[in-house]
Amino acid sequence: MDLSEKAQIIYQRLIDGYGEPIWQPGQDPLDELILTILSANTNDVNSGRAFEQLKTAFSDDWDAIRTAPLEAIKTAIRPAGMYNQKAPNIVAVLERIQREQGQYDLSHLAAMSVDEAFTYLTSFPGVGHKTASIVLLFCFNRGAFPVDTHVQRISQRLGISDRRAPPIKIKAIWEELLPPENFYALHINLIRHGRQTCQARAPRCELCVLQAYCDYYQEQGEWSVT
């Protein structure tokens, strides 16, 4: 079986096991960008709380956040951690968007190619490939595949990538193997799979719908936990 066929089987088995997540329009790209900046090195609960506190503290007003004292922003986003880096990055993002677009709006990304939009987003401080891909996929359903720690670990174990492949390499592999219209469902289902079954320290292989296609399972005992 070649890798492309394996990827398609994995995609379908995850849908059979977890359902088919359907992309929905309506997520604001600037909200998503700031939320994802806040999510670096923390969990969804903490980043979500920081985002809500930020919006509440400044009455949902990006201009008020851009012009606020940095210490006030740090206080609002404290639950997300790394607030000394995240606060100035958020201000820099808002300053540049306001300067370039004349408003706090990223809807112009829809008119760019995926590569152009990806390059644009990753030119902001604190925005890496995962954050840029999340904004493009979740807000525009564009063909950028986000690789977080769950996607990285499962892709390595399955043998979609090699065992030590970095996230950016895994992103490129999935984007080559499957069509963009599969990215949203695949991303959501890999996260579900990572949380429910293919957990970092103790994968529940006996329950796994991907068992027959998994290098880690076939070679158990030869792997160190990643």
Residues of this chain that interact with ligand SF4 (CB under 6 A) are 154, 157-158, 197-198, 203-205, 208, 210-211, 214, 216-217
Q: What is the rounded CA–CA span in Å between residue 155 and residue 145?
A: 13
Neighbours of 8 (CB within 10 A): 15
Which of 28, 215 has the CB closer to ligand SF4?
Answer: 215
From the candidates 6, 74, 86, 130, give the one annotated as an active-site residue.
130
Neighbours of 215 (CB within 10 A): 16
Active site residue 169: no
Find the farthest-apart pair of alpha carbons in the chain and give their distance in angstroms, rounded. 58
| Matching residue, tokens 């292989």 | 205
Residue 192's φ and ψ, nearest 5 degrees, are -60, -45
Q: Which residues, 6+ apart, have CB-to-CB distance to 220 below 8 Å?
A: 205
Q: CA separation (Å) from 46 to 1, 53, 170, 190?
A: 42, 11, 26, 21
CA 114 vs. chain centroid, Å, equals: 16
Catalytic residue annotation: 130
